[in-house]
Amino acid sequence: MSRERKSQVPSIIRADRRSFATTTVRKTMRTFIEECRDSKTGEIDCTKLAEKAANALDIYIGNNYDIPEEVFELAFELSEDDEQGAGL
């Protein structure tokens, strides 16, 4: 029986003129997680996962298309959960 740990990411991620529920971002990341898995080590590339989710949902800040830090934090949490076998 796995225990879910409390996420450190807020329930709402804010970007330019839009906000995203963390659950929506997490669900989107799950669709990309296998694409971001290293075939040799099995580890998840958190940066790639965050970038794919941000692109799919258009989560950017400013004119430089910066991704909110919370998206990277969420990718890291999903990666840790995957390593611990907590189930995604």
87 pLDDT higher than 60? no
pTM over 0.85: no
Whole-number pLDDT of residue 76: 95
Domain holding 51, by residue range, is 12-83
In whole angstroms, how far apart are CA 49 and each of 2, 3, 13, 28, 78?
23, 23, 16, 10, 9
* Nearest-angstrom CA–CA distance, 24 and 60: 15
Residue 75 inside a domain? The answer is yes
Q: Is residue 4 part of a domain?
A: no
Q: Which of 7, 61, 38, 56 is nearest to 46 (CA)?
A: 38
Q: Does 1 reside within a domain? A: no
Give residue-wise pLDDT tens across range 16-31: 667 778 889 999 999 9
Does residue 49 belong to any structural domain of this protein? yes
With respect to residue 2, please indicate whether it lies within any of the assigned structural domains.
no
The structural domain count of the chain equals: 1
Residue 65 CA to residue 33 CA, distance in Å, equals 22
Closest of 62, 53, 47 to residue 15, by C-alpha? 62
The answer to whether residue 7 scores a pLDDT higher than 90 is no
